[in-house]
Amino acid sequence: MATGTAQGRVAVLISGRGSNLSALIAASQRGELGGDIVLVLSNKPDAGGLTLAEAAGIPTAVIDHRSYQTRETFDADLVARLAETNPDLVCLAGFMRILTPVFTDALAGKVLNIHPSLLPAYPGLHTHQRAIDAGDRYGGVSIHYVTGELDGGPVVLQAKVAIEPGDTAERLAKRVLVVEHDIYPVAARWHLEGRLRLDNGRALLDDQLLPATGVTWEAAQ
């Protein structure tokens, strides 16, 4: 079982390789997450992150979306499974399903997502390619609270990564991923410590309303 110094209970939802999950596990094991990861839940039975969780002694679950007729019934089962663990925080970490209000309303204010763009720019997929194609100087990553709007909830923490001449989406993604692993545990810890919260659709850190792009990673360090 992952260990930590605080009492926060964290569930992590994944669909794939789980490198952000790995960063969250490592932070928890160092006592820097503000809580313990009590469940890793995947919608894909073959997600690599499940193996990482098992190796760390963390309980896992699979709820395969292909067994459901509607997004709502899938989301209802996710909510029910998560409720069994009574989480203080649910981290979406490469969880590739669009969530309905069945999920977002039930867990409002308790769900963070990591998205590989400088939100509000480039919600959705292919973020790095879109930033390169647009001639942007920076790509990056955002941590935001999850609301009913896809990749649209209030941003809490954001890190920029310079786009280099001749960059490819793959190369940029690799550099952004390194930063992803640094920033997600920090935002999770803020939430678990009670410093960060969602209030009336707005994100507050230490009772201060955050700007639309959240705290910059430079300022957070």
Output the smallest distance, CB 218 to ligand GRF, in A: 19
Binder of ligand GRF out of 6, 9, 16, 108 (CB under 6 A): 16
Binder of ligand GRF out of 18, 35, 139, 140 (CB under 6 A): 18
Output the smallest distance, CB 144 to ligand GRF, in A: 11
With contacts defined by CB under 6 A, name the span among 16-24, 37-45, 147-155, 188-196 that binds ligand GRF. Answer: 16-24
Q: In what order do the strands lie in the sheet with 111-115?
A: 60-62, 35-42, 8-14, 89-92, 111-115, 138-145, 155-162, 215-216
Q: Spell 5-35 as b/e; 16+ CB within 10 A means b.
A: ebebbbbbbbbbebbbbbbbbebbbeeebbb
With contacts defined by CB under 6 A, name the span among 17-25, 118-126, 160-168, 206-214 that binds ligand GRF. Answer: 17-25
Provide the 10 A C-beta neighbour count for residue 57. 11
Residue 154 engages ligand GRF in binding (rule: CB under 6 A) = no
Residue 160 engages ligand GRF in binding (rule: CB under 6 A) = no
181 carries an active-site annotation: no
Under rule CB under 6 A, which residues in 22-81 are in contact with ligand GRF? none
Under rule CB under 6 A, which residues in 168-187 are in contact with ligand GRF? 177, 180
**What positions carry a catalytic annotation?**
115
